Structure 1
Amino acid sequence: MTEKFIVGIGGTTRGGSSTELLVRAVLDACARQGAKVEMFGAKELVALPFYAPENEERSDAQRHFIDSVRRADGLVIGSPGYHAGISALVKNAIDLMQDTMTDKRVYLDGCPVGLVVSAAGWQATGTTLSSLRDIVCSLRGWPTPVGVTMNSLQQKPFDADGKLIDDALSTMIESQAKQLMGFGYA
């Protein structure tokens, strides 16, 4: 069995945001199950120029991001819930996946994708998770059955060092990682 490569994408312009920490937690769970992982958090996402379909030139950051997506056996995409939708930072990264349109694996065809949402309220977590599921399906990806959501008004799942301390959320994260790692063709 070959080592799986799982790519995490997400966060806000603030490094160490709850969204970024959640995506990293899923990646850590995948790594414990034997995956090689790579994270595109705030620092990396901010470095991606705005996607412009008419511009075929790509920055080094864009090329590295797309190369990682192309090699990925699975993805974890996390977004804060902003006004019932995903953040522009995350959407820009997703839009860049258009570069894979003519690849052997078109977009995310057959790729499992774990989805993570952090928002200030349950309504925003639900609408944002639904939006992410729609986007992943339009890119031919397979959203994992387990979606991880966190209401930042009610939950404080990380300690001061960014360590996950919420047992219920930890269970959801482990379940999503297991689904990402266990997906495959028969």
Structure 2
Amino acid sequence: MDEQTNEGGKPLVVGIGGTIGARSSTERALCIALDAAAQQGFATRLFGGADMARLPLYDPRATTRTPDEQAFVEAVRGASAVIIASPGYHGSISGVVKNALDLLEETAKDARPYLADMPVGLIATAYGWQATGSTIAALRSIVHALRGWPTPFAAAINTQVTRFDDDGGASDPAVVEQLRLVGRQVARFAPLAAAMPG
């Protein structure tokens, strides 16, 4: 399994999530989880809303890929773990997050295709509880289809009651701890995935 290492040989956790426009609560939540993985000795790479906005709609017949598409695919190829965060839109994940994940079809013929054998942390944010559950369920199904391993704990955040700030925190300390747990779990399981026979 080829894993990318950065910053003095550290394994990489890639974060995927956010919304187009201003830095969203989803992206802020993802950053808290990535920071927890970094505290466990991992390098991190964020593909937030602005990054995903630059990805064209996935066309499986395209013969070339843009530099942004190439950078995204190469980062995931080299990752030891991934964290995906999506807002709950109409009961499921957002289109920009799904479009980014669709682009992983580029890895179909790799020695390690898609998210095979990787731990994948999941975060859903929504304005109300109902969409958080269905969005987490959708993310789990997608990760299974991509051959990844959703970590046991997934963070479901109701942004109607929890507010994120510009300093990397949130109004509810329990939510911050849940997000940190997502980051710690992907860090904990990544060495186990690396030890699996190819």
- Which one of 85, 92, 96 corresponds to residue 103 of structure 2? 96
Shift of residue 179 of structure 1?
A: 1.0
Shift of residue 56 of structure 1?
A: 2.2
4+ long deviations beyond 2 Å: none
- Which one of 54, 67, 84 corresponds to residue 47 of structure 1? 54
Query: What residue ranges of structure 2 are gaps of 5+ in the alignment?
Result: 1-8
Task: Percent identity, please.
Answer: 43
User: Does residue 23 of the first structure (1) align with residue 30 of the second (2)?
Assistant: yes
Which fold has the larger relative contact order, with Cα–Cα distance below 8 Å and residues 6 or more apart in sequence?
2
Q: Give secondary structure in 2 for the equivalent of 1:4.
A: strand
1:173 corresponds in structure 2 to: 179
CA distance in 2, matches of 1:85, 1:37: 26
Shift of residue 64 of structure 1?
A: 0.4
AA in 1 matched with 2:10: E
CA distance in 1, matches of 2:108, 2:22: 30
Query: What residue ranges of structure 1 are gaps of 5+ in the alignment?
Result: none
Contact 1:4 1:181 in 2 (8 A): no
- TM-score, scaled relative to structure 2: 0.89
Contact 2:73 2:106 in 1 (8 A): yes
Count the aligned residue pairs: 183
Q: Give secondary structure in 2 for the equivalent of 1:154.
A: coil
Shift of residue 126 of structure 1?
A: 0.2
- TM-score, scaled relative to structure 1: 0.95
Shift of residue 162 of structure 1?
A: 4.3
Q: How large is the RMSD of aligned CA atoms in angstroms? A: 1.2
CA distance in 2, matches of 1:75, 1:172: 16
CA distance in 1, matches of 2:187, 2:29: 17
